[in-house]
Amino acid sequence: MRTDGPVTLVEVAKAAGVSKTTASDALRNSGRVSERTRQLVTSMATRLGYSPNASAQSLRRASTGAIGLHVPEILTRSEYYMSFVFGVVDQAAEMNYDVTLITSKHVPSPGAFHRVDGVVLGDPLETDPVVRGLLGAAVPTVTCERFTGEAVPSGVVRSDHSGMLERLLAHLRSAGARRPALLASSSTTDWGKRLQQTFRAWCEAEGLPVLLREQVFGSSAEVVRDNVRALLADDPALDALVCAPDGSAVAALPVLREAGREVGGDLLLAACVDSVPLQHSDPPITAIDLHPRAAGAACAQLLFDILAGKAPEGTERSLPIGLVERRSTTR
């Protein structure tokens, strides 16, 4: 028997085999829901002991004029995430909406959240309790990249990170790299997991050793430097380094120079997240441009489309990304 708190709408939907929105519409006796589905959801809610929140039930009838945005506090120093935030804010302003930043102090009680009409989650971490609480709330949620846990968001904006990393690795290969390494981000996000999987598969296909070290999100520059030293010690023949975490490529430069390596000479350097410091480093560092501001705007627009009934539950949209080649990958 379940004893760890009130039953959530997500749990009712999962038990009935329907989406969160369908379950909500069925319990409110609204929307395009068949009578059979309505009875199934109602029966399952009764059996599980689900008690709907009155404020949550009225959300789609009375707009709050605001959407929520959650970005983990450990990532707020990241240039990528700050640009993402401004993208959400820009798009919300176009729709005459305000944006409420949601922190760990604003985690909703299970099944209830009535401060905003919906929520945008930037690259949600599987281990983040705020993310789990928001995905269980009775409002639509849109994520930038998929959530790697069990909960399912209302919509997702995704980019082809695997394809772009393969393009970057091929570029390094054509420039003469034979022993590339990846300083990887944690696999607790879809982005981090896909980069690791892609790197391993590419190395295996090329018959190369998999040189990889993972670090948690929000790690300090000193942690980055320790990991770079470890990679150089693991394989002194390493001749290319791809840094996934935002800011890690710039942090790696002093270590590479201390080791007597020449970036753009005997070692090629690239990053999976572009930023202003990469453009002005010496030498400028090749990077993948994730278009964070456009990503934030796309997530907000998808949320508004779901709220307006213009996009169905479970919609996934694609956001193009690109490779910016600079001197760090040219011998």
**Per-residue model confidence as pLDDT tens digits over 180-232:** 999 999 998 999 999 999 999 999 999 999 999 999 888 889 999 999 999 99
Is the pLDDT at 60 greater than 50, yes or no?
no
Q: Containing H/E element for 288?
A: strand 286-289
By DSSP bridging, strand 211-215 and strand 180-185 are: parallel
Say how far apart CA 146 and CA 160 lie, in whole Å: 12
| pLDDT given at position 303 | 96
The 8-class DSSP code of residue 222 comes to H
| pLDDT given at position 5 | 60
| pLDDT given at position 1 | 40
Using 50, 70 and 90 to split pLDDT, how confident is the model at 63? confident
Using 50, 70 and 90 to split pLDDT, how confident is the model at 167? very high
Q: Containing H/E element for 214?
A: strand 211-215
Report the mean per-residue pLDDT for the chain. Answer: 87
Say how far apart CA 21 and CA 188 lie, in whole Å: 26
Using 50, 70 and 90 to split pLDDT, how confident is the model at 54? very low
Q: Which residues neighbour 224 within 8 Å (Cβ) at sequence distance 6 or greater?
A: 183, 215, 243, 245, 247, 248, 251, 252
pLDDT in tens, 277-311: 999 998 999 999 999 999 999 999 999 999 988 89
pLDDT in tens, 228-246: 999 999 999 999 999 999 9
| pLDDT given at position 246 | 92
Provide the whole-model pTM. Answer: 0.79
| pLDDT given at position 209 | 93
| pLDDT given at position 108 | 55
Tell which residue, 129, 135, 13, 6, has the closest CA to residue 68: 135
Give me the long-range contacts of 14-18 (CB less than 8 A, separation at least 24): 15/44, 15/48, 16/40, 16/41, 16/44
| pLDDT given at position 114 | 60
Say how far apart CA 298 and CA 287 lie, in whole Å: 22
Say how far apart CA 205 and CA 308 lie, in whole Å: 46
| pLDDT given at position 178 | 93
Number of continuous H segments (helices) and E segments (strands) in the chain = 12, 12
Least confident range from 112-116, 247-251, 326-330: namely: 112-116
Say how far apart CA 290 and CA 205 lie, in whole Å: 26
Q: Which residues neighbour 161 within 8 Å (Cβ) at sequence distance 6 or greater?
A: 191, 194, 195, 198, 272, 288, 321
Q: Containing H/E element for 242?
A: strand 240-243
Q: Which residues neighbour 300 within 8 Å (Cβ) at sequence distance 6 or greater?
A: 67, 87, 88, 91, 92, 95, 120, 142
Token pair 């453009």: residue: 279
Is the pLDDT at 315 greater than 50, yes or no?
yes
Is the pLDDT at 61 greater than 50, yes or no?
no
Using 50, 70 and 90 to split pLDDT, how confident is the model at 134? confident
Least confident range from 127-136, 240-249, 314-323: namely: 127-136
